[in-house]
Amino acid sequence: MPVFNSYIATRKMSRRQKDSSSAGAAKVPRVGVNKSDLESQAAQYGWSARQLTFTEVRAMSSSELRWHEIYNATNLENALALPGIAQERKNINAQWAAKSLWDDRTQPTPEQAAEIANALERFKQTYPQFIPSRAENGIILTWLKERNLHVTFSNLVESFEANALEGKIWLNPNAINAGSETEVSGTQLISHHNFHKLMLPQKRISEVDRLSADEFLEANADVLKDKRVPPMIAARQGRTQATTEHFQKAKEATAHAGSTSVTDYPADETGYPNYPSKYSFRRLLDSLSAEDYQKRLNEDRQFAAAIDKLNSK
C-alpha cells in the first residue's frame, strides 16, 4: 500500500504554485531602457535634435523625452525654462511699470487710479486694527515702493504682515476687541497676547452695525415701519365712529320742551321681504285691500314714496 509522503507532496505543490504565478501574464516590453531602443524609435518616429517648445515637451512620451535628454539636452532645457522665463519677464515688466508710477515718470490712468483707491479702501475695511492716521504707518507704501510693487490689495496685505512681524507699524487692539490698548508698536506689538488676532483680517464695524435693532428701525422708519392699521384697532375705530354718528343723528332728531326731550329715530325696516317697522304703517298696510292699496298708491305721493323706499331696501 503506497505511503503518503508529506514532504514530496509539499514540494510538488510549491513547484506548481511557483510555475503558475507567471502563467498567462502579459509580457511588458522593455522600451527605451537603453540607447539602441531609443535610436530605433527615433528612426521610426523621426525624432531629431532641434529647438523645442514647452507645449511639445508636455506632449512627449517617456521614451521621446528620454531621447531628448540624451541627444538634445540643451534644447530640452531651454524649452523647460520658457514658462519661468516668460513669468520672470512679466514680473520684470510689472516692476518697471510700478517703478515708473512711484517715480512719477508716468501718471496712472483713470482705471489704475480707481484700482489703487479700491485696494486702499478694501485694505482699510479688512484691517480695522491698522491706524491710517499714524505717519509711521506710511511704511506700508514705502515697503511697496522699495520693491517696485503695485498698490494692490494682495501686495498691501503682504506689506502689512511683513512690517507687523518686525513691529514697524502701529495697530489698535481695541478696534477689534483684542485688548484695551489703542496704539501698540515695536516689542509691545510683537509680544502682545493677541498678536495672532492683530495679524488676521477683520471686519470694520460700520456706524450701521453699531445700532441696535430699535435704533435701526427708528432711523429707517419711513421705509421699514408698517403703516397699516391693525384689524383690532380698525374695528375699535369703526365702533367709535358708528357710535358718534348715532348720537349725532339722535341729537339732530331730538326735540326739547322744557325738561322733556323726544327723539324721533328713523324707521328701521327689517325682515324678508322688507317690512316696515313702524306699527302705524304696518296697520295701515294690513287694513288696505288690493283696490284701496292701488288707489292710495296712485293718489298719495308720500305713501308711494314710503313704498318705494321700502322696496329699495
- Can you spell out the DSSP letters for 180-214? S-S-B-HHHHHT-TTHHHHTS---PPPTTTTS-HH
**Of 157-171, 178-192, 289-303, where does mean pLDDT reach its minimum?**
289-303
Give the C-alpha separation, 212 to 205, whole Å. Answer: 13
| Phi, psi dihedral angles at 184 (to 5 degrees) | -135, 145
This model's pTM is above 0.85: no
Q: Which of 100-114, 118-132, 207-221 has the lowest mean pLDDT?
A: 207-221
pLDDT-derived band at 217 (thresholds 50, 70, 90) equals: confident
Maximum distance among all Cα pairs of the chain, rounded to whole angstroms: 154
Asked if residue 202 lies in contact with residue 184, where contact means CB atoms within 8 angstroms, the answer is no
Whether pLDDT at 25 is above 60:
no
pLDDT in tens, 59-108: 888 888 888 888 888 888 888 877 776 676 776 777 777 788 788 777 88
> How many beta carbons lie within 10 A of that of residue 91, not counting itself?
11
Torsion of Cα atoms, 297 then 303 then 305 then 311, to 10°: -80
Domain boundaries of the chain, sorted by first residue: 35-88, 110-198, 208-251, 279-311
pLDDT bin (cut points 50, 70, 90) of residue 33 is low
The residues, ordered by sequence, that sit 6+ positions from 250 with a Cβ below 8 Å of its Cβ are 263, 265
Please report, for residues 68, 217, 273, 285, the alpha-carbon distance to residue 71 in angstroms, rounded to integers and kept in the order given. 5, 79, 117, 131
Grid cell for residue 185:
508698536
Residue 158: its H or E element: helix 153-165
Residue 3 pLDDT more than 60?
no
Residue 151 in contact with residue 225, Cβ under 8 Å?
no
Q: Is 263 in a helix, a strand, or coil? A: strand
In this structure, the strands spanning 254-257 and 260-263 are antiparallel
- Residue 78 in contact with residue 51, Cβ under 8 Å? yes
